[in-house]
Structure 1
Amino acid sequence: MFQDITPLLLDPKAFKDTVDLFVERYKGKNISIVAGIEARGFIFGPPIALAIGAKFVPLRKPKKLPGKVISQEYILEYGRDCLEMHVGGVEHGERALVVDDLIATGGTLCAAMDLLGRVGAEIVECACVIELPELKGRERLNGKPLYVLIECFECCDSQKMKEENE
């Protein structure tokens, strides 16, 4: 079930307040990298990175980054995908925050953490605007902290009701 964040983005005050909630949580935590997952992690990651004095590292789909990259494949509920990151964009020992708009099954966040971990980054936390708890993505994070602003139970419940009525 697709969750649309466009209404949030169309409301400048709500968008700013959302970014400010993340900034408040992460300022002063010595985070040197904000890694944003394509594509909606690119919306929230850069303003958070700027506000806390960290660099922004894009984690992109295959063949979208120029130059040398490292890749991490992962399994989705409907197939396979891959994330890529520039070689040299992250140094061993840097403290990273992973940002995306939503966590569902957790596969993309796990791939992002694996990719950063392969170059020696310390994952401080993952941050998402929305969580779909019924899909149990948090459980796949192997104990890594996850901070979310909204847990969306109703979304999954409405899908269940639709399936039950068919």
Structure 2
Amino acid sequence: MPIEPELLDPVTVAGWTLTVAADGREAQLHAPAGVVITELSGSRTTLALSNATVRSRALDAGSPPRWDVGLAERILRRARPAGSLFLRALVDQGGTATAEKLREVTGLEFLNHATRTLTESAAVVFSDGDPEQRGRYWRHFFATRRHPDQPRGRVYDYYLSDELVPIFAEALTRLGR
């Protein structure tokens, strides 16, 4: 039969009750009504709120964008010309290309200017009319991969999904880019 530890007097603050064992090795935490403690470990506590709606921009990215040529055009129109140059090269390479190949094809010494203008443009377009500015969560519509031997180094290659290649190809063509 386990030995129950000697407990100190409980402390209650704002509906929370904390009781600590005299030797300091164990603690019991009782939450106010509607809050469930799902984990208590060391100085960290994980809580769950029952019947509560939490407004958090960090957790709610909204719905993913529904891609079409019009949306791609809006992003390209807002971006600087280097963004279109970068995407044209990526599309022409079938949606996947090394950074070295893209620098060679575009003539751009640094690709970060081109990628930054695209992600900033996408964030603005996706957030249009959204007071929560959730569009910033969907701004990275192309992926990057670091060099396997240099995980913190430069980007090794870029990838545009198979779904987006024809959409951006058409948008670039419509805009004459």
* Larger Rg belongs to: 2
Higher strand share: 1
> With structure 1 as the length reference, what TM-score do the two structures score?
0.27
> With structure 2 as the length reference, what TM-score do the two structures score?
0.25
